[in-house]
Amino acid sequence: MKHYGQWDAAAFFERLAATNILAQKEHFIFCRVSGLEGFEEALAQMQTASAFVCVSDIADGYTELNNTPRTRRVKTVFLAMRHAAEDMEARSECMESMRELFRQFASQLILEKTRLEENCIYIDPRITFNEIDRYFFSGCACAYFQIAVDCYTDLRYNADEWK
């Protein structure tokens, strides 16, 4: 199954984290993780860092069999900021910073969406943003957003692929 066009979400968000003024001011570091478990591991291992942008290297998705076959992959981006444990005011401030960082990232996603469409890669215009419950990781405000990306998939039968 050939996919035409790929999008490197990790490289895109790594660049955003490195060049965004708010991300730099709040000391966000970038890391790659493998799902929610990997995100928890990253937080536990990086005691010296105070803020994170983590892109999961795994993706949910599906392949649609129709006149224009395509594959959808859903990428997850985690945001986290450490704060004093049980300090709900500090947690609230962290959540506001992450909401604003998401908004600023979305402004870049609009430009990226246009660029990708030139290569037949389509970002779903609806991006979900979820705040994680305060008990998820003590002393850390966490949120995540998910981006669905569709690309054409060549599903033509090829006899050379079969015995």
**Would you list the domain boundaries of the chain?**
2-155
Count CB-CB contacts under 10 A for residue 32.
13
pLDDT band at 3 (very low <50, low <70, confident <90, very high): very low
**Best CA proximity match to 56, nearest among 73, 41, 78, 40:** 78
* All residues at 6 or more sequence positions from 145 whose CB lies less than 8 Å from its CB, including other chains: 76, 77, 79, 102, 127, 128, 129, 130
pTM of the model: 0.85
The DSSP symbol for 133 reads: P
The pLDDT tens digits for 84-108 are 888 889 999 999 999 999 999 999 9
120 close to 5: Cβ distance less than 8 angstroms:
yes
Amino acid letter, residue 73: R
Architecture of domain 2-155: 2-Layer Sandwich (3.30)
